[in-house]
Structure 1
Amino acid sequence: MRMTKLMLLAFLALFLVQFQTNAQQKITIYTVGDSTVKNGRGDGTGGLWGWGDYIGQFLDSTKVRIENHALGGTSTRTYQNLGLWDAVYKKLKKGDYVLIQWGHNDDGPLNDTIRARGTIKGISDKSEKIVNMITKKEEVVHTYGWYLRKVVKEAKEKGAIPIVMSPIPRNKWKDGKLPRNNTSYGLWAKQIADQEKVTFIDLNDRMASKLEKFGEANVTGTYFYKKDHTHPSAKGAVMAATSIIEGLKVSTNPLKNYILENPVIKLPRKTNLFLIGDSTMAENNNENAVGWGVMAPRYFDTTRVNIVNKARGGRSSRTFDFEGLWEKTKSEIQPNDFVIIQFGHNDAGKIDSEKFRGSINGIGDETQQVNRADSLMETVHTYGWYLKKFIRETREKGATPIVMSLTPRNEWPNGKVEQRSTTYVKWAQEVATEEKVDYIDLSDKVAQKYQVLGQEAVKAFFPKDHTHTGRAGANAVAETAAEQLRGLKKLKISDLVLGKKEMEELPPLELVK
């Protein structure tokens, strides 16, 4: 037995040594640059990515590995002043590669109290002595080309292979064309690459030519967002990486030998936002009873989120569970998804007759045995009990539950919009507090808007009855729900909602099918 254990330990040690040896033998590809190479933490916040996050998917990961050392907001100057290049330089070994791309931020002021990141234009040895208004220290500022050349030369000193790129194009169109930077930073990057005899890839022109084939209308919202003309989406970042790979293929650079023949590119999985509730949220196939969930996609970045409307007309928290609708929904939930829970309109029904959809008032553990018309015995729980079940089982799936109160009805006692603030609104909030989940009092937020619009204007939102909205009413509720979700800054869902300005620029409702 002891000999067997010793043999196992010896085998494990040998495996670890071999693993470490293989890891050391891998060539490292370092990427250095600004936010168009790595945006933020490289996690797609705001839907924005850098090409350095995807370039590795085109290369043989058994032979090379990627280290993305780019940092948003940096120029050739500040990247080095902050010691970021020194950190890469110390790690470089012979045969490694350094992919280099700057230029977007080098055009800023040489000296100011905000960033002081600009460089002198061109590639000459011209310099300017300043007292940096941020650091309060003397600094000699050089040209863009001087800083770029320094990185290239120092990479070569270590036996590494630098590859220089022109900056990606900005999504700013003029007469159906994207402006090139071949008279500024793209030109200067090429000049340095030529003088230092290293590979240059005109990423700017390669990517711009691809985008122009699609046209501005198809590019904005797919490869770039309207809110940001500089930082690409995941698809835009992949296009930039593809352009680099294409440039490598026609070069003599040895990195081309590690390009996969048929790479499988994986874009980030879309986040699912599940909606569970009743007809005030559901898709009801009735223009006079449109649930707000039908209009919800209008207010989200649907390139990154799927709105999965599982709400069903006529259901209460009880029947949504009893009929297996929750179980079916739960089977589709994945980690990092979101579930919005909103019930109450039908929970006030009868518990033991007719539609058998009423739940017990409150949020306690009381139960009632009901002999249904189909001779099945059912244990009925409180409204709050069902909400807690949905919340807890959502969390078990690794997803995030959000509780919303029910929507207000078109009833105006004493000139005020009716709200069930002492029953279902109150109980939903109590459940959310007890379970420590985010809560949105949609009833109150929508009611506030109704009060401003006035009773006559709101009447048009309810063409069928006092509970169900038409298309315009559903849109007003969906917009309010999205605004409140955007306010949940601690949750990723807030990042998936359109910004205030983007909402204001949405096409009129009558133009939307």
Structure 2
Amino acid sequence: MKIVKLACLLIVTIFFVQCDTANAQKPTVYCVGDSTVKNGQGKGDGGLWGWGDYIGQFIDTTKVRVENHALGGTSSRTFLSKGLWQPVLDSLKAGDYVLIQFGHNDNGALNDDSRARGTIKGIGEENEEIDNILTGKHEVVHSYGWYIRKVVTEAKSKGAIPIIMAPIPRNDWENGKVPRNLNSYGGWAKQIAEEEGVTFINLNDKMASEMETRGEEQVTGHLFYKRDHTHTSAKGAVLAASLIAEGLAESDNTLKNYLLENPEIRLPRKRNIFLIGDSTVANNGQDGKTGWGVYFSQHVDTTRMTVYNKARGGRSSRTFRYEGLWDAVKEQLEPGDFVLMQFGHNDGGNIDKAKYRGSIKGMGDEIQEVKRDSSGVETVYSYGWYMKQYIKETKEAGATPIVLSMIPRNDWSNGKVDRASTGYGGWAREAAEQAGGYFLDLNDAVAQKYEELGKEQVNKFFPDDHTHTNKAGAELNARIVAKLLKGLRDSELRDYIINTFE
């Protein structure tokens, strides 16, 4: 038995050694650059991606490894001075590749107390000695070309193969044309490539030409966002990567031998956010009364997330479940989705009479058997029980539950809006705390805003009753929901909220 175990252990050990050896023998493609090569952690922070996150989809990664070492905010100078190039250089072996793209940040100040990342323009040997205000260190600042040349020559010294890219264009337009950088960083990058005898890809011109073919309206909001003219969306990053692959295919660089003939492009899945609740969230038709959920999508990056407003007027935490509305939502939930849930306005109704929508008050485990008119017997639970079930089942689906206290009614006492903190608002908070969901005190946040505006102005939001808002009131509440979500610093959802609520 011991011999068999030893034999199995030996086989497993040999297998892993062979795998490690195979990986070590694979050429590695290293990407170095700024945020247009890798934005943030390379996870699409803010919907922004770099081409280094997608170049691997154009390369046969069974034969070549891809590592993206770019860092947002760096210039050709600070990528070196921050020590980011050294680990790459130490890892390089003969036959590896280095894709190099800098320039977007090289035009900054040479010396200041915020970034101090600029380089001297051009490719010359001139330099400037500074006492760096930001780092407190003495530093010799060189030209853009000097730093690019240093990366190239050091990579070549290890037997690696450098490939220089002109920086991607910004989403700027002049008379239907995208300005090129041939007379600045793109041109200087090309000069260094020619002098060092390495492959140059004019990514700037290639991408600008493609942008012009599509037109500004098709580029803005698709390849770039309106709020950012420098960083690409996932589709923009894929386009840049595809043009690099095109440039490699046109070159005599050996990396072209690893390009896939028919790459399968995988864009990040759009995540979903579901809204469940009552009429203060729902689309209530054409009667002038509407819920905040109707306008919530205006504050969401809908290029990366789809908003589904599943709230229904007249429903309570009990009836939303009893009528199968929650089951319909639950069937659509996928890992990574979000559920915003706001109930309470109708939970105070009759438990055992017409409408049958009241839930037992509080957080307890007590139940009440109710004989409905024609639907048999229903077991009714407490408001807290229903809310905890929504939270629990959302989490079981791999989604994130976010509980909101209900928006306040237009009821005032002594100049203050009546809160729900000791009733459904408080129980909503308790449910989130007990079941492990996020809680947003929408009730108090909206009440504070109402008090700031004054009763006379708030009365205009409630045309028919003290519960249901008109369009202006719903839009205000949607902005407040978005602002609260943006404040959830430990939730990914805040990254999908567009700052349009100020």
Q: What range is the shorter-chain TM-score in? A: over 0.9
Gap runs ≥5 in structure 2: none
Once residues 301 and 77 of structure 2 are traced to their aligned partners in structure 1, the CA distance between those partners, rounded to angstroms, is 35
The corresponding residue for 1:79 is 79
Equivalent AA in structure 2 for residue 156 of structure 1: K
Structure 1 stretch 132-141 or stretch 27-36: which is displaced more? Answer: 132-141
Alignment coverage as a number of residue pairs:
502
- Structure 2 length-normalised TM: 0.94
Distance 1:368 1:441 in 2: 29
The answer to whether structure 1 residue 103 and structure 2 residue 103 are counterparts is yes
2:130 — aligned with what? 130
Further displaced range: 54-63 or 370-379: 370-379
- 1:224/1:86 CA distance change after superposition, 3 Å: same
Partner of 1:349: 349
Give me the whole-angstrom Cα distance separating, in 1, the residues matched to 2:310 and 2:7: 56
What is the distance in 2 between the residues matched to 1:463 and 1:262? Answer: 59
Alpha carbons 1:276, 1:341 under 8 Å: kept: yes
Counterpart CA distance in 2 for 1:178 and 1:330 is 46
SS of alignment partner, residue 293 of structure 1: helix
Q: Does 1:368 align with 2:368?
A: yes
Partner of 1:257: 257
Question: Retained in 1: the 8 A contact 2:391–2:436?
Answer: no
In the alignment, the residues of structure 2 paired with residue 114 and residue 347 of structure 1 have an alpha-carbon distance, to the nearest angstrom, of 54
Contact 2:164 2:190 in 1 (8 A): yes
Aligned-pair distance for 1:412? 4.3
Equivalent in the alignment of 1:266 = 266
Does the 8 Å contact 2:291/2:468 carry over to 1? Answer: yes
CA–CA separation in structure 1 for the residues paired with 2:459 and 2:263: 57
CA contact (8 A) 1:287 1:471 kept: no
Deviations 1:138-161 (A, max 9, x none): 322211111111111111121111
Cα shift at 1:408? 2.2
| Cα shift at 1:3 | 6.1
TM-score after normalising by structure 1: 0.92
Letter in 2 for 1:97: Y
The match for 1:167 is 167
2: CA distance, partners of 1:309 / 1:55: 36
**What is aligned with 1:328?**
328
AA partner of residue 433 (structure 1): E
Q: Is the 8 A contact 2:341 2:403 kept in 1?
A: yes
For residues 137 and 454 of structure 2, the distance between their equivalents in structure 1, rounded to whole angstroms, comes to 61
Shift of 1:462: 3.2
1:179 aligns with 2:176: no
Per the alignment, residue 231 of structure 2 pairs with 231
Long gaps (5+) in structure 1: 505-513
Q: 1:364-513, aligned counterparts within 5 Å?
A: 364-374=364-374, 376-412=376-412, 416-499=416-499, 502-503=500-501
Amino acid at match of 1:316: S
Name the counterpart of 1:511: none
* CA deviation string 1:447-471 (max 9, x = no partner): 3333344444434433444322233
Matched, 1:18 2:6: no
Indicate yes or no: 2:91 matched with 1:91: yes
The 1-side partners of 2:102 and 2:374 are apart by: 71
* 2:202 aligned partner, one-letter code: D
- Relative distance call for 1:324 and 1:149 in structure 2 (3 A) is same
Summarize the alignment of residues 171-320 of structure 1 with structure 2, pairs less than 5 Å apart. Answer: 171-320=171-320
State the partner residue of 1:54.
54
- 2:339 is matched with which residue? 339
Deviations 1:229-263 (A, max 9, x none): 22212122112111211211211112112111221
Residue 169 of structure 1 and its aligned partner are, at CA, apart by: 1.2
Per the alignment, residue 119 of structure 1 pairs with 119
Q: Is the 8 A contact 1:287 1:470 kept in 2?
A: no
- The amino acid across from 1:393 in the alignment is E
CA gap of 1:4–1:322, structure 2 versus 1, over 3 A, is farther
For 1:489 and 1:400, how far apart are their aligned partners in 2?
14
User: Which amino acid in the other structure matches residue 96 of structure 1?
Assistant: D
Find the aligned partners of 2:214 and 2:283 in 1 and give their Cα distance. Answer: 34
Residue deviations 1:198-241 (CA, integer Å, cap 9, x gap): 11011111112222233333323222223322221212211211
Code of the residue aligned with 1:317 in structure 2: it is S
Does the 8 A contact of 1:32 with 1:99 survive in 2? yes
Aligned to 1:509: none
Counterparts of 1:321 and 1:55 in 2: how far apart (Å)? 46
CA contact (8 A) 1:288 1:462 kept: no
Structure 1 counterpart of 2:346, which letter?
N
Residues 283-321 of structure 1 deviation map (CA, whole Å, 9 limit, x = unaligned): 333342322111111111111111122212221111122
